[in-house]
A = this chain, B = another copy of it.
């Protein structure tokens, strides 16, 4: 293995082990053994276990930047919200360990939370708030909405579909083949609501 291979191998192995055991639940010895590289390589490439963990977090949360592509896209606020749902679902499909870091850092933050995780999550929610505010200004969304709570409601809907998988696989089909239908259905619930007697009047 050359240096690039070793570095990649360490990131891949560390992602799995840190996701399963947490920063403090895995030793440098276990990491190097699982990656099949000498223990000195962790210091050489990452300056130790803590920095390896922070490199894993940076790699996991880097995809959150995509929210800026959605923000800048030339389309209406409701289309941007639909794009957000579609992207979130794809993100969890492509990064199977992301939700573990996401929830463990939110419930038991390491000292990298404030530096890496918090800004990434906050930025996504801030952009969603701006999109919702734009929708209210354009009278496409209801003026009574609190944009902050509305943004959290949307993020929660999508995240929980994945978070709940282990507990709900007997009740809900979580197959990726259903992802596009799920995107449309969640968008339908989020925009129209569940009630058959909506109090909304068309503007």
Contacts and interface: CB of A to CB of B under 8 A. Distances in A.
Given A160-B159, A172-B152, A122 B198 contact: no
A142 B196 contact: yes
Interface stretch (A4-12, A28-36, A52-60, A125-133): A125-133
A171 B164 CA distance: 26
Contacts of A48: none
What is the total number of copies of this protein in its complex? 2
A166 B103 contact: no
A121 interface: yes
Contact of A171 (B78, B99, B129, B195): B129
Given A20-B108, A99-B107, A142-B192, 4 more contacts: A118-B167, A143-B196, A150-B189, A156-B160
B190 A191 contact: no
B164 A113 contact: no
